[in-house]
Amino acid sequence: MEFDIFSQSVIIPLIVFGSLFLSFKILLDYLERKNMIKNNVTYDSIYGSEKSETPPLYSSLKYALLLIGVATGLWVGELQGGNINEPLPFFIFIMLFGGISLLINYFILRKMLKK
């Protein structure tokens, strides 16, 4: 019997435990925020009022480049004759091009923040 990650014996418990974990986390976050409002505590008083170095616009650039890198990695893995039963070439190229895209993002951000 070959191991299939998409079989029902694997995917259903992952969904169930993932849903339980996410529900528990959402409940704890809600209770924490409710308690912070009750005690007049803000995030700035806990973590300081320093603003992030990069605006949200640059964050979307990072994720866009990362997804482009992952897609390029999948495409190059397929061009190399990657077989779906041998995921190593896909994994290698996804990590390679994902890392390259994050490096490109770093250099773009550095150039934009110098201006």
Total number of domains constituting the chain:
2
Same domain, residue pair 10 and 57: no
Tokens of 23: 């529900």
Residue 115 in domain = no
Does 43 reside within a domain?
yes
Q: Are residues 59 and 103 in the same domain?
A: yes
Containing domain of residue 7, as a range?
1-50
pLDDT of 47 reads 66
Q: Are residues 8 and 34 in the same domain?
A: yes
Residues sharing a CB contact under 8 Å with residue 69, sequence separation 6 or more, in sequence order: 94, 97, 98, 99, 100, 101, 102
Residues 57 and 104 in one domain: yes
pTM of the predicted model over 0.95: no
How would you label 59-86 residue by residue, b for 16+ Cβ within 10 Å and e otherwise?
eebbeebbeebbebbeebbeeeebeeee
Q: What pLDDT, on the 0 to 100 scale, is given for residue 73?
A: 86
69, 97: one domain: yes
> Using 50, 70 and 90 to split pLDDT, how confident is the model at 28?
very high
Per-residue pLDDT, 30? 93
Q: What is the pLDDT of residues 30-87, one digit of tens each?
A: 998 899 889 888 777 776 666 656 566 677 888 888 889 888 888 888 887 766 677 7
Q: Tell me the Cα Rg of the chain.
A: 21
